[in-house]
Amino acid sequence: MSQHGTKKRKLDRSTEDYMYFDSYSDVTIHEEMIADTVRTNTYRMGIFKNSKSIEGKVVLDVGAGTGVLSLFCAQAGARKVYAVEASSIADQAVRIVKLNQMEDRIEIIKATLETIELTEQVDVIVSEWMGYALLHESMLNSVIFARDKWLKPGGLILPSRADLYIAPINDLVVEGRLDFWSTVKGQYGVDMSCMTDFARKCIMNKDITVNPVTVEDVLSHPCKFAELDLNTVTLEQLRDVRGVFRCQCFGSSSIHALCVWFTVTFPAEEKALVLSTSPFKPETHWKQAVLYLDDAVDVMQDTNVEGEISLYPSEENSRHICIHVDYVIGEQKKHSKTFSIPDQYLEVK
């Protein structure tokens, strides 16, 4: 992927893992995840809806954190739950399990998934592995490893599928920040309008910006560009998750950015259960991933926005995501831009 960006010093895998697991040793990230009622309630319902497949069975919880999903599985009737957590929050998970009197059924294993040894194969794998833009942190790799090594043939994975979506958006806040420099002269008698180009380069940069996007700012119907079946997806496929997209704008506006989000699906006997991070649904702690164009582009109703998008691991740290987009808006020529996660998001999910 060297063609996508400038190469920096690559971190060795042990350093990558230390940075990742260390970020889960503080209470803040767990408070944020548990307080995300959309996330936690959907997992709870997804587990309970599959109680027939869980009751009396063995479950592996990959990246168990505080152990809340393991407890849901035990409540759903699991005979045994192996809760694997490499960070020091595993010590708190032991206390939480004991407090809920489930220590006879839930075993906390403080280790990386890839190093554990179990005495039996498992019937079910549960994991909350999703990061920003779905794949930041690459925890899905561990779920696939667990599937290939520990899951019985025909076993259940919760959730079982992930889908990625994209749509063009307008950003009035960015528009206001860029227009600000033209208002300085009227306020103070000093012309600073030449700052607009500099401001645009700073604001509409190559960062994957994690922000909530309002429905009113979405300029087209969502376009699904990738689907991952957790029963079959391979590590090789995760090295470059790509797809094409084509959106038609609703009306006259300005496109400032492309917005990426995901859903994950829990199978169910009747209706599948979907955890969505869409701007059309209630906000989650994942928000949306915003990819700013270099310049705003004016569009009209039915203007086509089309192209190809690729998500792949950063060369500097394989747990961090990069996104490359080739896009055409209306009659404009093709543009290309590569985005990466900025420092403030590198140790959180």
Active site residues: 128, 137
Whether the upstream peptide bond of residue 159 has omega within 30° of 0, thus cis, is yes
Contact 223, 165 (CB under 8 A): yes
Is 327 strand, coil or helix? strand
Looking at the DSSP bridge assignments, the partners of residue 218 are 169
Q: How far apart are CA 51 and CA 261, in angstroms?
A: 29
Q: Residue type for 261, please?
A: W
Residue 6, classified by CB atoms within 10 Å of its CB into exposed (0-12), middle (13-18) or buried (19+), is exposed
Q: How far apart are CA 229 and CA 159, in angstroms?
A: 10
Contact 334, 328 (CB under 8 A): yes
Q: How far apart are CA 80 and CA 258, in angstroms?
A: 44
Q: How far apart are CA 205 and CA 307, in angstroms?
A: 19
Q: How far apart are CA 262 and CA 217, in angstroms?
A: 18
Q: What is the largest CA-CA distance in the chain?
A: 76
Contact 306, 167 (CB under 8 A): no
First to last CA, the chain: 24
Question: In terms of Cα–Cα distance, which of 156, 121, 115, 113 is closest to 138?
Answer: 113
Q: Kindly state the tokens that stand for 318.
A: 């394989």
Q: How far apart are CA 227 and CA 241, in angstroms?
A: 9
Dihedral over alpha carbons 168, 169, 174, 180 (to 10 degrees):
100
Q: Kindly state the tokens that stand for 210.
A: 């994690």
